[in-house]
Chains A and B, each alone.
Chain A
Amino acid sequence: MPALLRRAGWRLFGSLPALFGVVVFTFLLMRVLPGDPAIFFASGPNAGEAEIQAIREQMGLDRPIPEQLVRYLGDIGRGRLGRSMGTGQPVVTDLVNRLPASLELTLTALLLALSCALPLGIVAALAPNSAVDHGVRLLCTLGVCVPTFVSGLLLIYAFYYLLGLAPDPTGRIDIFASQPPRVTGFLLIDSALAGDWEAWRAAATQLVLPATTMALFVLAPLARMTRAAMLAVLTSDFIRTGDALGLSRRRVVLVYALRNALLPVITIMGIVFSTMLGANVLVEKVFSWPGVASYALDALLASDYAPVQGFVLLMAAIFVLVNLVVDLLYGLADPRVSME
């Protein structure tokens, strides 16, 4: 365990340059954005010339670029990301309010995708060129071709319009249902904590379609990767050793093959999560999901850049954290890396 902690610290330290790069990159992005940054940070589009001038001086936009960068870093350190013109709130407040919605959606979808993709990939690899294998491969091939916004709309058409099984595909919870008191911001958890199963059910039914949409999007690459990894491991020398020394098929497949095949699957989890954060924007728009991505998108379309900047920073920070977790998981699973 101390080795693991040391590794975690070391990796976190190692991701600092990337995080710093991200901040600098976002800073540069802000400077090339069309228009005057001071206007974005002003109280609203109707801010007077004097107010903008005051903000410009306060923000130090008349200072040299390196000094501006230092100030900018200081602002981020104090959690000052500016104000949203659309909501009139500080961007940080908005992001904190809306982040749980996005995370709840993404994590549910990830769980859903993993619980389908892993068995499918394994079953396909165990019987290459069988009917099951061909089915899984067809699913994988088609799966990567369907854009999330199309599959989402098709799901709405089928389950809401045709079958009437799903609720109105807008938002996280039926507006007539009672909102549980906010503890974590995750509706499923909050309503369970409050013992309000009516609300839990309302939130869950609302979550099913968007989560399925997003899960479908990453199901194919995950299943494909699992299948390929499993196939590669099954032909490796140590599997032949296990067979040659009379280990049972179950032991060879589950203990020897599967554990090794999961290693490459773990390594692509970071990339999968990144694609999901991207797909989040599309899914949130299709389902009017009140998450951070739809917030940023609305701001972007309204030329309100402070929320966009905050959102990009937040996404990058989450992604760095996810990669750290993936890295630690890998370190736990593969004794060869924990050596370093």
Chain B
Amino acid sequence: MNATLRHAAWVLRGNPVTLLAGLGTFVLLLLALIGPALLAYDPVASNVPMALQPPSAAHWFGTDQLGRDVFSRVIAATRLDLAIAASAVALSFAFGAMIGAFCGYIGGRLDRWVGRFVDVLMAFPLFVLAMALVAALGNRVENIIYATAIINLPFYIRFARAEVNVRRNLGWVEAARCSGHGPVGVVMRFLLPNILPAMAVQVSLNLGWAILNAAGLSFLGLGVRPPTPEWGIMVAEGARFITSGKWWLVVCPGAALMFAVLCFNLLGDGLRDILDPRLRT
């Protein structure tokens, strides 16, 4: 373990970006937890006389068409955006890793049927599939989570399956069988712990994508509804005013979105470096 920490320290020294990304992620999590308590303005209270003010000392990110403070709304949205992405990724990771690992190890009929199911899911452009799922399940926030989880599922199944497949005939797996482990033991005690680090990297990279995805759906008017503060819907509301030059309505929530995605992506790249220095490019 000590060696792993040393290696991590070495990677971080050579790659301060990962450290910054880790810090950024920490700030985001902090904002999600306690952000709403720190705000000077109520993120949903309108103040029409103050509508569409550009950024100033009083309103760092300006105000929107109802005079709401954009900064407060951007901060307040952190929790919802992260929660949607995190729950969706957690769901698809938990199911995807298990299903994929067992399919990869056991193979046979189970593997074929799951493979077909995955093929069908993958035959849809994923964002379009998410739209259709939200439409089918109902236009609600939790359905955004399920839809994002489902479109991520094939990805995790395939990844876990492929990772298990390259290992299933290695010596230590056969040795585990010789030591009396059945399929469940081999998968749970041997294979899953070994593919977990690689999957952790995917989770981190995937979180960024899930955030983009959820924000995209609410930009289209699916899932989250006004006046709930959420980055995607804020951009959508601001879009009406971009041709009249009210840039902060789009730029501020957009920048928050980009910052979150950037942090998770960089963290994922950094994790990959720590786990496998050979992949370092």
Contacts and interface: CB of A to CB of B under 8 A. Distances in A.
Do the two chains touch directly in the complex (Cβ atoms below 8 Å apart)?
Answer: yes
Interface of A: 15, 17-19, 21-22, 24-26, 29-30, 32-34, 128, 141-142, 144-150, 153-154, 156-157, 160-162, 168-169, 227-228, 231, 274-275, 277-279, 281-282, 285-286, 293, 296-297, 300-301, 305, 308, 311-312, 315-316, 319-320
Interface in B120-158: 120, 123-129, 131-133, 135-138
A15 to B, nearest CB: 8
A281 B120 contact: no
A195 to B, nearest CB: 33
Given A146-B258, A147-B261, 7 more contacts: A141-B265, A144-B265, A231-B281, A286-B239, A297-B220, A301-B221, A312-B128
Contacts of B117: 21
Contact of A169 (B126, B243, B266): B243
B212 A147 contact: yes
B216 interface: yes
Interface of B: 116-117, 119-120, 123-129, 131-133, 135-138, 208, 212, 215-216, 219-222, 232, 235-236, 238-239, 242-245, 247, 250-251, 254, 257-258, 261-262, 265-266, 269, 281
Contacts of A316: 123-125
Contacts of B239: 149, 153, 286
B261 A154 contact: no
Given A141-B265, A142-B262, A21 B123 contact: yes
Considering residues A17, A279, A315, which has the most beta carbons from chain B within 10 angstroms of its beta carbon? A315
Contacts of B254: 146-147, 150, 153-154
Contact of A275 (B126, B129, B235): B126
Contacts of B221: 301
A312 B124 contact: yes
Contacts of B222: 300-301
Given A161-B242, A228-B281, A18 B119 contact: yes
A279 to B, nearest CB: 7
Contact of A150 (B123, B257, B262): B257
Given A21-B120, A22-B120, A282-B220, A145 B265 contact: yes
Contacts of B216: 147-149, 281-282
B55 to A, nearest CB: 15
Contacts, number: 148
Contact of B128 (A24, A148, A161, A315): A315
A26 B216 CA distance: 22
B247 A157 contact: yes
Contact of B125 (A19, A29, A228, A319): A319
A301 B215 CA distance: 16
A29 B136 contact: yes
A18 B243 contact: no
A275 B167 CA distance: 31
B127 A278 contact: yes
A146 B208 CA distance: 11
A150 B212 CA distance: 11
A145 B261 contact: yes
A285 B242 contact: no
Contacts of A147: 212, 215-216, 219, 232, 235, 254, 257-258, 261
A277 B250 contact: no
Given A147-B216, A275-B125, A282-B220, A312 B132 contact: yes
Contacts of B127: 275, 277-279, 281-282
A41 to B, nearest CB: 16
10 contacts: A25-B120, A141-B265, A147-B216, A150-B250, A153-B239, A157-B242, A157-B250, A275-B125, A312-B128, A319-B123
B135 A308 contact: yes
Nearest to A155: B242
A262 B146 CA distance: 36
A312 B126 CA distance: 11
Given A281-B220, A315-B125, A17 B116 contact: yes
